[in-house]
Amino acid sequence: MPLKHQKTETETQLLNERIHHARHYALVVDKTLCVGCEVCKLVCPREAITVTKVEKKQGEKAQKPKIDIDLAKCHYCGVCNTMCPYGAIKVLIDGKNIRSVVEKESFPELIREIKVDTSKCDTRCVDYAEVCPLNLITVTFLTPDGEKIENPDELSENEKKNLKTQIDIKTELCPCCRICELKGPTDAIQVKKIFYGTMKIHEEKCPEGCRDCLDVCPITGALYLSDDAKKVKVNETFCVYCGACRIVCPVPEAIELHRTTVKHTPVKSGAWNKALEKLASTKEVAKELRAKGATKARDSVDRRF
């Protein structure tokens, strides 16, 4: 039995702790990063996580859904830590972020494939920091001597040519919406999505004047208003299929979301199949099992010959 089992919540953080003689377990939700999506809830093997709609006040915008974690059910396995597309959850053991489910290959990691080629950059690349909807990109310009330049536009054209561009992306927090790639000033950044799927808004079911999904969508441009400003539409190019919009929607059938593919590292355990079925579909599970079978067959042939 733990010496102490407690929950602490502030405006910016939710903290669950289980303190033993030998170990201190902690689950930390950073509310400034959490968007209230449904991914952690779906993959939690103990069904310890709830994500609920926050009732909005009259005349105000909808608020992002609220996450809560049941102290009695959570056993600090780290699945939510591994699968959060926004990097908002951390599971700590004695203060260290240890993901044992990944180390034991019982659960995969999400693959965030982001490539940066600064050779394609010029001073316009400062705009990458502006287009990122989550403020995850920092652009720095350096002289050949390593001196940081705050205002490169004040330099002469020859001086600009000699500048070195440094682009830093907080990859572990990035849901891979591709906005930086497609709206950026150059083609210096290439991104592949984590989740692929389909998202459809049934406009005939949307309440007139409702903007709740648009209010909570964390990716600027994934949802937008129609030209007559009466209905919300989806741009699947930028949608990360997180599901926050579906949680706040007052008409459950108005938003139809299906994840068809999840990019992740290889995994051997069947526990992932159960999570994947909730996260995506039985079809996706079947596809993975076929892929694993083909891989085993190839390995068998390789060993034989």
User: What does the angle CA 48 – CA 172 – CA 17 come to, to the nearest 5 degrees?
Assistant: 35
Query: What domains, with CATH codes, occur in the chain?
Result: 4-103 (3.30.70.20), 113-192 (3.30.70), 195-262 (3.30.70.20)
Distance between CA 131 and CA 180 in Å, rounded? 6
Q: Give the per-residue pLDDT at 298.
A: 42
Q: How do residues 137-159 score in pLDDT, each as one tens digit? A: 999 999 998 899 988 888 888 88
Q: Is 149 exposed, middle or buried (0-12, 13-18, 19+ CB in 10 A)?
A: middle
Q: How do residues 98-109 score in pLDDT, each as one tens digit? A: 888 888 888 999
Q: Give the per-residue pLDDT at 109.
A: 93
Q: What rounded mean pLDDT belongs to the chain?
A: 90
Q: Give the per-residue pLDDT at 301.
A: 38
SS3 call for 207: coil
Structure tokens belonging to residue 137: 């990109």
Q: What percent of the chain has pLDDT over 90?
A: 73
Q: Give the per-residue pLDDT at 289.
A: 55
Contacts for 285 with CB less than 8 Å, ≥ 6 apart:
273, 276, 277
Is residue 167 scored above 50 in pLDDT? yes
- Rounded to 10 degrees, the C-alpha dihedral 288/291/295/300 comes to 100
Structure tokens belonging to residue 283: 């079809």
- What number is the average pLDDT over the span 9-16? 97
E strand spans, 35-112: 49-52, 66-69, 89-93, 96-97
pTM attached to this predicted model? 0.89
